[in-house]
């Protein structure tokens, strides 16, 4: 029972990190583009 709880918590944590990374990636790309535009201008 306890081992199952650990497995579930690990999966939830990994899933949360994966979702957060997917959500952050476009923001980082937009930030990088904005910086490139600033340096070009």
pLDDT tens, position by position, 15-36: 888 877 777 777 788 888 889 8
What domain count does the chain have?
Answer: 1
C-alpha separations of 25 from 11, 14, 20, 22 in Å: 21, 17, 9, 5
Please indicate whether residue 23 or residue 4 has the higher confidence score (pLDDT): 4
Distance between CA 10 and CA 16 in Å, rounded?
10
Print the domain residue range for 41: 1-41
Q: What is the pLDDT of residue 10?
A: 92
Q: What is the pLDDT of residue 2?
A: 87
pTM for this prediction: 0.42
Q: What is the pLDDT of residue 41?
A: 73
């Amino acid at each position: 029972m306890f081992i199952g709880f650990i497995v579930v918590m690990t999966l939830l944590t990994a899933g949360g990190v994966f979702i957060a990374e997917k959500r952050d990636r476009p923001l980082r790309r937009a930030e990088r583009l904005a910086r490139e535009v600033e340096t070009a201008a």
